[in-house]
């Protein structure tokens, strides 16, 4: 495998770079344009950004909170069906596993585009998109975690005459709860990042403002918004790291 693998990877890399057009001439020509960005990017209009983007940023955070909670809690029962350890039926196992794999193949912004068409523009489409996004990630991570739980307690519960559902809830669920919490915080971070860009396709949040300013090349207005987002994302991430350490 190594003999074929490495040369192929190298060849494919070179081929890819040609395909994406790594062209020095174009690069040079466009380099002249950099002033368009750099002149304004480093001249942030703070007042404008705070006045116009704070509410949208709040909306972004609310989308991420609602979507990650809904997505993760929908994923919780599905994951038990998508694991061999807790689902004895091959048929439903395959169905749930394939369903989770399928929704994982569609990128978050594609979901957002589809939902804006289906349910209309606005944050609700964004929430639905990120629900699918969190559901897919949580479903994969959690079902793989359930695959490797200790089956002993389940056997003990079964041996005492418990129903399958009872055994799963009392003996399997507590084993994966710490993982679930850690994944939830991780997915919440991912959702915060992802929700920033939802507005680019009209699915709510701060991306909407970025999109309109971007069209007019108002990088002086965009750069402070980006900094605001950065601060929010890093603050939330630090909070989640702290929380993880605290409760796990």
Partner 1 sequence: MSIPKQPLNQRVLKYVITFLIIAGSLWSASGLEITPERFLTAPSKVWILITAMFPLDLSQEAIDRIVPKVGESLFIAWAGTVIGAFFSFPIAFLAANNFSLNAFSRVTKQILNVIRAFPELILAFVLLPITGLGPLTGTLAVGIHSIGTLGKLSSEVIEGIDEGPLESIKSSGGSKLNELFFGVIPQVMPTITSYWLYRFEINLRASAVLGVVGAGGVGAELINQLRFRDFPRAGTVLVVTIVMVLIVDAISAAIRRRIIKGRDIRV
Partner 2 sequence: MIEFKNVSVVYPGGVNALNNVSLNIDEGDFVIIVGMSGAGKSTLLRTVNNLVKPTDGNVFIDSQNVTSASKKELKKIRSDIGMIFQTFNLVNRSSVLKNVLTGRLSQVSTLRSVFGLWPKNDKDIAFESLNKVGILEKAYVRGSNLSGGQQQRVGIARALAQKPKVMLADEPVASLDPITSRVVMKYLKEINQELGITTIVNLHFLDLAKEFGERLIGLKDGELVYDGKVDDVSDKDFENIYGRAIKSSDLLGEDD
Contacts with partner 2 by CB under 8 A lie at 150, 152-153, 155-163, 165-167, 169-171, 174-175, 177-178
Measured CA to CA, the distance from residue 97 to residue 143 in angstroms comes to 9
Shortest separation between residue 106's beta carbon and partner 1, angstroms: 7
Shortest separation between residue 179's beta carbon and partner 2, angstroms: 11
Shortest separation between residue 75's beta carbon and partner 2, angstroms: 18
Shortest separation between residue 36's beta carbon and partner 1, angstroms: 5
Asked if residues 66 and 95 have their Cβ atoms less than 8 Å apart, the reply is no
Instruction: CB nearer to partner 2: give 109 or 173.
Output: 173
| Residue in 69, 74, 76, 182 binding partner 1, rule: CB under 8 A | 69
The CA-based angle 191-195-198, given to 5 degrees, is 140
Question: Does position 58 bind partner 1 by CB under 8 A?
Answer: yes
- Find which of partner 2, partner 1, none residue 96 binds, CB within 5 to 8 Å per kind: none
Question: Does position 182 bind partner 1 by CB under 8 A?
Answer: no
Shortest separation between residue 93's beta carbon and partner 2, angstroms: 19
Neighbours of 109 (CB within 10 A): 17
Measured CA to CA, the distance from residue 245 to residue 56 in angstroms comes to 30
Q: Select from 132, 182, 154, 159 the least CA-distant residue to 83.
A: 154
| Structure tokens given for 74 | 């929908």
DSSP of 117-163: HHH-SSHHHHHHHHHHHHHHHHHHHHHHHHHTS-SHHHHHHHHTT--
Question: Does position 110 bind partner 1 by CB under 8 A?
Answer: yes
| Structure tokens given for 79 | 């994951």
Question: Does position 121 bind partner 1 by CB under 8 A?
Answer: no
Which residues lie closer than 8 Å to 104 by C-beta, 6 or more apart?
Answer: 136, 137, 139, 140
Taking CB under 8 A as the binding criterion, the range among 43-51, 55-63, 80-88, 167-175 that sits at the site for partner 1 is 55-63
Instruction: CB nearer to partner 2: give 87 or 134.
Output: 87
Instruction: CB nearer to partner 2: give 48 or 169.
Output: 169
């Amino acid at each position: 495998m190594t003999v074929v693998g490495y040369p192929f990877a190298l060849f494919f890399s070179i081929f890819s770079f040609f395909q994406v057009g790594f062209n020095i001439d174009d690069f040079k020509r466009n380099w002249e344009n950099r002033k368009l960005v750099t002149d304004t990017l480093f001249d942030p209009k703070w007042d404008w950004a705070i006045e116009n983007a704070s509410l949208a940023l709040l909306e972004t955070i609310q989308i991420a909170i609602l979507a990650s909670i809904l997505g993760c809690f929908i994923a919780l029962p599905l994951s038990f069906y998508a694991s061999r350890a807790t689902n004895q039926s091959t048929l439903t196992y395959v169905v749930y596993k394939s369903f989770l794999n399928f929704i994982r193949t569609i990128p978050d912004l594609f979901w957002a585009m589809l939902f804006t068409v289906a349910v209309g523009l606005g944050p609700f489409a964004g929430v639905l998109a990120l629900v699918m996004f969190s559901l897919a990630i949580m479903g994969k991570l959690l079902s793989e975690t359930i695959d490797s739980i200790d089956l002993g307690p389940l056997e003990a519960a079964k041996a005492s005459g418990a129903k399958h559902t009872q055994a799963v809830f009392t003996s399997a669920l507590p084993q994966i709860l710490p993982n679930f919490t850690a994944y939830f915080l991780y997915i919440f971070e991912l959702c915060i990042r992802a929700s920033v860009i939802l507005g680019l396709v009209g699915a709510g949040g701060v991306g909407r403002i970025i999109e309109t300013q971007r069209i007019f090349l108002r990088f002086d207005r965009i750069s402070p918004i980006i900094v605001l987002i950065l601060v929010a994302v890093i603050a939330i991430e630090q909070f989640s790291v702290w929380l993880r350490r605290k409760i796990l």
